[in-house]
Amino acid sequence: MSSAMSEVSVFKPTNELSEVFGEPALVGLEKREVYDGFLSLIASAIKPTDPIGWLLTKDVTDWSWEIRRERIIKVEIIKYYQKEVVAELIKALAPPGQFKTALYRIFQADADLTLWETDPEARIKIDGALAAKAITPPLSLRRLTCEAPPRSTRSTRGSPPMNGGAIPL
Amino acid sequence: MSSFRQIAANRNNAKKSTGPRSKAGREVSGRNARRHGLAIDIGSDPLFQDDIEKLSHALSSGAQNVRERARETAEAELDLLRIRKFRACLFETLYLADTALPDSLAELNESLAKLERYERRAFSRRKRALRAM
């Protein structure tokens, strides 16, 4: 991306327009130089020749930037709530016995949850253990995580191949 | 289509029912625009006068016949920029701040929806002004 940026560095608004645009509306760890590079890349495609062209280029850049930001936030929110649901489900993996159950919930459940979140192999095992106990996440969560819901023979017979029952994100 | 008589009657009725009547009510509604400042006409805000002048000059390239439309475009554009900055502030305070709670997502969502109304209006103003230029 850096070589592409150097090629298009000529696409900058005039100083007068830059002053009017001011500081871009950035959030958190978003960086000014990355934004400027992004604006240059979009400008190199649009090739604005007058101030009106620059206003429209700025619109496209800001919208694309905001869309990117909101997609990241959407993923974070999904992961947050996904973790909450799994944290509740995983308690069912506690071994039988009141004392052992309490120990598992206090000391082991969080570690298993972290494993489920970070280690794909551990995730398959935990999901398998939950499925063996006939515990499946709610349908809404399965869709969010792009996992196929269990299909009944009746509903799948003759139906076109589906995208694993997942909603394209 | 409404007749002239009907239009006149509507206007008369609207005068009777628009806005709060009591002094306290008027004070409350008078503060509405100051809650986030986005309802204040940007053209009358001294903070933006320089930028409006600069942008309208750049847009009209000094031509007098489009000066008024260029100013309208500049005001709408600066309104859009102001709204984008306000949106960034909302994300900063209601999502990214350490004090942000999961509950504040609902507040963020509600605020973003309100902000969208202001943005739509500003876009329409700019589109009209640009078409007329």
pLDDT tens profile A64-116: 999 999 999 888 888 888 888 888 888 888 887 888 888 888 888 888 888 88
Judge whether A136 and A130 are in contact, CB under 8 Å: yes
Q: What is the pLDDT of residues B107-132, one digit of tens each?
A: 888 899 999 999 999 999 999 999 99
Above 60 in pLDDT, residue A144? no
Is A28 within 8 Å of B85 when comparing Cβ atoms? no
> Is B18 part of any domain?
no
Task: Report angle CA B70, B75, B81 to the nearest 5 degrees.
Answer: 125
State the pLDDT confidence band at B20, using cuts at 50, 70 and 90. Answer: confident
Interface-testing mutation among A14, A16, A20, with chain B (most B C-beta atoms within 10 A): A20
How much is the mean pLDDT over chain A? 78
Interface-testing mutation among A55, A58, A63, A64, with chain B (most B C-beta atoms within 10 A): A55
> Is B56 part of any domain?
yes
> Is B84 part of any domain?
yes
- For chain A, list residues whose CB is within 8 angstroms of any CB belonging to chain B: 14, 16-17, 19-22, 25-28, 51-52, 55, 59, 62, 66, 69, 73, 77, 80
> What residue type is assigned to position B72 of the chain?
E
Lowest mean pLDDT among A57-66, A156-165, B64-73: A156-165
Distance from CA of A87 to the nearest CA of B (A): 16
- Complex ipTM over 0.90: no
Lowest mean pLDDT among A25-39, A135-149, B63-77, B112-126: A135-149
> Is B20 part of any domain?
no
> Is B121 part of any domain?
yes
Q: How many residues does chain B have?
A: 133
Q: What residue in B sits closest to A16 (Cα-Cα)?
A: B54
Judge whether A85 and A138 are in contact, CB under 8 Å: yes
> What residue type is assigned to position B4 of the chain?
F
**pTM recorded for the entire structure:** 0.69
Residue B64 in 3-state DSSP? helix
> Is B95 part of any domain?
yes
DSSP letters for chain A:
-HHHHHHTTT----HHHHHHH-S----TT--HHHHHHHHHHHHHHH---SHHHHHHHHHHHHHHHHHHHHHHHHHHHHHHHHHHHHHHHGGGGSPSSHHHHHHIIIIIHHHHHHHHHH-HHHHHHHHHHHHHTT----HHHHHHTTPPPPPPHHHHTTPPP-STTPPP-
Q: How far apart are CA B110 and CA B126, in angstroms?
A: 25
Going from N- to C-terminal start, the domains of chain A cover 2-73, 79-153
Domain count, chain B: 1
Judge whether A148 and A166 are in contact, CB under 8 Å: yes
Residue B39 in 3-state DSSP? coil
> Is B114 part of any domain?
yes
> What residue type is assigned to position A87 of the chain?
A
Judge whether B19 and B29 are in contact, CB under 8 Å: yes
> Is B67 part of any domain?
yes
What's residue B38's pLDDT? 78
Domain ranges, residue B115: 31-132
